[in-house]
Amino acid sequence: MRKPDSSAQVQRYRNFIGGEWVAPMTGTYAPNRNPADLNDILGEFAVSGRKDVEAAVAAAKAAFPAWSGTPGPARGRMLWRAVELFRSRLDDLARMLCREEGKTLVEAKGEIQKGIALFEFYSGEGFRTHGKTLPSELRSTFTYTLRQPLGVVALITPWNFPFAIPAWKSAPALITGNTVVMKPASGTPGTAMLMAEIFEEAGLPQGVFNLVTGPGGAVGNSLVDHPDVRAVSFTGSNAVGLALNERAARRGIRVTCEMGGKNPVVVLDDADLELATAGILQGAYGSTGQRCTATARVIVQRGVAPKLVEALTAGAKRLRVGNGLDPNVDMGPTIDEGQLNTDLEYIRIAQEEGATLVAGGKQLTGGAHDKGFFVEPTLFTGVKPGMRIHQEEVFGPVVGVVEVGDFEEALAIANAVDFGLASSLYTRDVNVAMRFVERAEAGMVHVNNPTVGGEAQLPFGGWKGTGVGEREMAEEGAEFFTQLKTVFVDYTGQARAAKIY
Ligand code: NAP
């Protein structure tokens, strides 16, 4: 189990390397604070460097032969043991997540449950990792494919889903026989620490899962550059992801980058407006809008625009913003001061561009709000497709409404951004819905459903500027962590001079 360092004022969290809790070779730790209450310190976390990454990769490399040689179902049973422990510690995990990321306790519990479902799904995949049997062109020749693990893989995760994203990367990596070095975001290392503790308790062999905390530049780059790392699975911003993709390409290793979004909801004149309002409010302001799948653009047909805007404005103004630990709070803080300033800067830009502010728009201050980083749920109308507020990811509770004449115009505007993660349509017309499904430029399409959400058994990820590489979650998520081997077995017992028809 994790050993607290008694010399520290607050609990110190070390790295988890080779089955041990190891102090960083840099000797440095940094405190992590609750963004809703800066007096609430979650602990001090290792600020690791290249040497710590080297130790973690060496441990993972040493563990690979035995782990990859363990039968898939046996690996699955170990993950299932972790599932049971995750369930028994759901409240601890959710509290840590709520305190370090800021989302409400209800949202945090939902995220932990989603992560547990991913482990449940992938535990069973231990029985199902399969290749194909195909006929050979030649007589008495058996040809088939095998899926085998890659080796040591690096997982680099963002702060906004500190349990679900580590789950959707580590579960498929481990079940397919890889060994892992994970670097969580510096804003949210605590939930990942609890995950490592549970893996240890579940009996995962030493070195199979390693966790190194520290800055992206030092730890992340050292992982990507390490000659023994065979693949990198990254989720985060476009700026970091694209640079990382380029860096990994120089080594010719496998990479997946799931990056930003600017997700639209289209509302047509025939839509159920109550349903659309509820879906937009949930998608836009849930998790403080800090979701890659957050609703950032509402594209509404003119006939229902006034009614929809009225309902959204009232809904945004009703939301209670505060510390996510308080059961009366609907929306938590932004993750840090940097993100708060980004939100406020985009609110300023939108007004400068000529959009009309109809709800929110300000930092919340006074009383308990002075302890953290809070912004009002914000809504703009009069947004035009060329505006920056319509094109660029804010990653906060800021939504812009664009009015359109018909479905074709709405679809064209929905598609005309660099991103392509999630796209949603509210209508009662099934024919129009199917046309939208066919033509939306997005990895995930929703009908009469918010832009947010994903399920363990369904592929998750985006088109265009959102994604590089394979889909995550589901069977496809496990494929990323395996390589194919094609096998030819000749059972004629005779030399064949030339393999011709
Ligand atoms: P970020 O700043 O790009 O960071 C993501 C991870 O990369 C963190 O662990 C970060 O470490 C690390 N990192 C930073 N610089 C690095 C470098 N030079 N080399 C290697 N790693 C480096 O993103 P974020 O602010 O945490 O997350 C928000 C973004 O994630 C948004 O754009 C959101 O849309 C996207 N996201 C996408 C999905 C999806 O599935 N498409 C899901 C969730 C979030 P530090 O924390 O130490 O800087």
Question: Cβ(186) to ligand 1 under 6 A?
Answer: yes
Atom of ligand 1 nearest to the CA of 158: 26
pLDDT at 499: 63
Closest residue to atom 18 of ligand 1, CA basis: 217
Q: Which of 98, 197, 200, 292 is catalytic?
A: 292
For position 501, what pLDDT does the model report?
54
Number of other residues whose CB lies within 10 A of the CB of residue 118: 29
Residues 209-222: pLDDT tens digits? Answer: 999 999 999 999 99
Judging by beta carbons within 10 Å of its beta carbon (0-12, 13-18, 19+), is residue 350 exposed, middle or buried?
buried
**Is the Cβ atom of 245 under 6 angstroms away from ligand 1?**
no
pLDDT exceeds cutoff 80 at 17: yes
Among the listed residues 61, 111, 116, 57, the one whose alpha carbon sits nearest the alpha carbon of residue 86:
116
For ligand 1, whether the C-beta of 395 sits within 6 Å is yes
Confidence of residue 1 (pLDDT cuts 50, 70, 90): very low
- CA dist 360 and 362 (Å) reads 6
Please give the average per-residue pLDDT across 196-201, as a whole number: 98
pTM above 0.85, yes or no: yes
**Confidence at residue 498, expressed as pLDDT on a 0 to 100 scale:** 66
β-sheet with 482-490: strand ranges across: 133-135, 141-149, 482-490
Q: Among 292, 337, 472, which residue has the most ligand 1 atoms within 8 Å of its CB, making it the best to mutate?
A: 292
Which residue, judged by its Cα, is nearest atom 31 of ligand 1?
237
Question: Residue of the nearest CA to atom 28 in ligand 1?
Answer: 236
Closest residue by Cα to atom 40, ligand 1, is 258
What digits encode the pLDDT tens for the residues 46-85? 999 999 999 999 999 999 999 999 999 999 999 999 999 9
Q: What rounded mean pLDDT belongs to the chain?
A: 96
Ligand 1 atom 9 nearest Cα: 185
Annotation marks residue 44 as catalytic: no
Tell me: pLDDT of 2 over 50. Answer: no
Q: Is 397 in the pocket of ligand 1 (CB under 6 A)?
A: no
| Ligand 1 centroid from CA 26, angstroms | 23
Q: Give the percent of the chain with pLDDT over 70.
A: 98
Q: Please give the average per-residue pLDDT across 125-151, as a whole number.
A: 96
Question: In the beta sheet, which residues pair with residue 41?
Answer: 33
In degrees to the nearest 10, what's the CA dihedral of 292, 376, 359, 410?
A: 0
What is the average pLDDT across 14-35?
Answer: 98
| Mean pLDDT of the region 174-197 | 98
CA dist., res. 318 & res. 457, Å (int):
35
* 395 pLDDT more than 90: yes
What pLDDT is stored for residue 431 in this prediction?
A: 98
pLDDT beyond 70 at 245: yes
Res. 304: pLDDT tops 90: yes
Distance 498 CA to ligand 1 centre (A): 53
The residue that leads in pLDDT, 10 or 103, is 103
* Cβ 158 under 6 angstroms from ligand 1: yes
Q: Mean pLDDT across the stretch 283-292?
A: 98
127-132 long-range contacts, CB within 8 A, separation 24+:
127/72, 127/73, 127/76, 128/72, 128/475, 129/72, 129/175, 129/176, 129/478, 129/482, 131/484, 131/485
Phi-psi region of 495 (alpha: psi -120 to 50; beta: other; left: phi over 0): beta
Residue 289 above 80 pLDDT? yes
For β-strands 295-301 and 398-404, DSSP reports them as parallel
**Predicted local confidence at residue 496, as pLDDT:** 79
Q: How many residues does the chain have?
A: 501
Q: Which of 101, 197, 258, 472 is catalytic?
A: 258
224, pLDDT greater than 60: yes
309 Cα–ligand 1 center, Å: 33
Best probe residue, ligand 1, of 48, 52, 118, 156 (max atoms within 8 Å of C-beta): 156
Confirm or reject: Cβ of 195 under 6 Å from ligand 1.
no
Any atom of ligand 1 within 6 Å of the Cβ of 465: no
Q: Is 215 in the pocket of ligand 1 (CB under 6 A)?
A: yes
Residue 216 CB–ligand 1 contact under 6 Å: yes
Which of 3-17, 385-399, 419-433, 481-495 is least confident?
3-17
Going from the C-alpha of 414 to that of each of 367, 399, 439, the distances in angstroms are 40, 14, 10
Helical residues (DSSP H) of 16-49, grouped into ranges: none
Q: Does residue 4 surpass a pLDDT of 60?
A: no
For residue 429, give the DSSP letter: -
Task: State the distance from the centre of ligand 1 to the C-alpha of 4, rounded, in angstroms.
Answer: 28
Look at residue 8 and tell me whether its pLDDT is greater than 90.
no
Identify the residue whose C-alpha is closest to ligand 1 atom 39.
Answer: 258
Does residue 292 have an active-site annotation?
Answer: yes
* Tokens coding 107: 């949202």
Among 114, 131, 17, 85, residue whose Cα is nearest residue 478: 131
Nearest ligand 1 atom to the CA of 258 is 41
Residue 332's nearest CA partner among 36, 93, 111 is: 36
pLDDT digits 0-9 by tens, 307-340 = 999 999 999 999 999 999 999 999 999 999 999 9
Q: Name the E strands within 198-331.
A: 209-211, 229-235, 254-258, 263-267, 295-301
Maximum alpha-carbon separation in the chain:
86
Half-sphere exposure of 367 (CA within 13 A, CB side): 5
pLDDT at 470 (0 to 100): 84
259 lines ligand 1 (CB under 6 A): yes
* d(CA 165, ligand 1 centre) in Å: 11
